[in-house]
Structure 1
Amino acid sequence: MNYETIILELMTRVQALEQKVKILEEKNKKYDDVIEMIKNNKDFEEQDEEIKITRSIARQQVMNKIANLYKYLDVKKGNRATRADIILTVNNGENKGEQFFGKFYYSKSHLEYPAGWHTVKAVDLENDNLDFHIFTVSHEDKFYNFLFTHEELKQYVQQKKMDSSDQYYFYFQVVNGKAIENRDGERNVQSNFENWKMFEQLIK
């Protein structure tokens, strides 16, 4: 029996639970006035909607950023059929009509600096119809983005451990201006941090 692996997985689960506790604590703060609001159903619904749309807002800021930087790309949300979260379509030039598919991952930091947990399924890394992966961490109303091409991420996880559910864990942080990923040992990801030029590599 590999006790080191078991201990590592237990530590990961404890860290994940701690993160969930922090999330619940923050949500409880938002519900402090729910008793007063329940008499006004409209206000209650608005509060609930505010909590639900956080990931949607994070993905939209990514889509807006891409659209503003690359006018020759049409950007839209993905769907289950495409197994993608973001779809890019070239709208002019010799590559007109070509499409690129990406996955989007979101986490909210509850620390004093941007830090967020993400999971990537092995099946998504095996899906070669995907072209890129974007990890976003929100912290104090700001977004911090880490961008990888599909091939880059496949190479990156070769130094990671896959859990019993066939998933890889990522812990992205920005500390003192330094972008790192620190789930399986600290690794410098500065080249992936806000690397919007990645799309120029994809669309040649």
Structure 2
Amino acid sequence: MLIILDRDGVINEYDGNYICSADEWHPIPGSVEAVARLCNAGHRIAIATNQSGIARSYFSSDDLDAMHDKLEHLVEAQGGCIDFIAYCPHHPDDHCRCRKPLTGLLDQIRQHFHLASLGGAIMVGDSRKDLEAAHTGGCRAILVRTGNGQDTERHLDARPIPGANVTIYDDLSKFTDALLSAGGW
């Protein structure tokens, strides 16, 4: 199964401030191990992440590459791998097609894996943008309470995403426990 992960707030710690270097990038406890466990169970892993800090000149694409290299090395040290990373470097005012909640990043992932659709894929995020992209892109939407997840959960109660069935877990590790104990969904 293809599992698409948001990055900030799902895999790494995120408090609303831009993460501008590999030194500032810190995994949420248990998240790297969760990614490796998913890989070892036969799932393919992709990341879809908005990174407007590039357009805002807070960090460069080389800085982003260093953050992703750190992530990939940590996952590989646990015996897993990340198959593909799609990111949007654009400013929200650029009106690109790749910035979540639009599905351009998911389209890149679908094309990378040569899939006709993302039906059957799962997308894990901590924000409404992630959940909307998942729903529109045909993925099963999972919300984690890390990062912005608790705020997102509170707002979903007041303003649900029409037609979306969102499942909620405390963190990526708890989602992984549930998926692997169920033998897949």
TM over 0.5: no
Tell me the TM-score normalized by structure 1: 0.29
Higher relative contact order (CA 8 A, sep 6+): 2
Structure having the higher strand fraction is 1
- Normalization by structure 2: what TM-score? 0.31
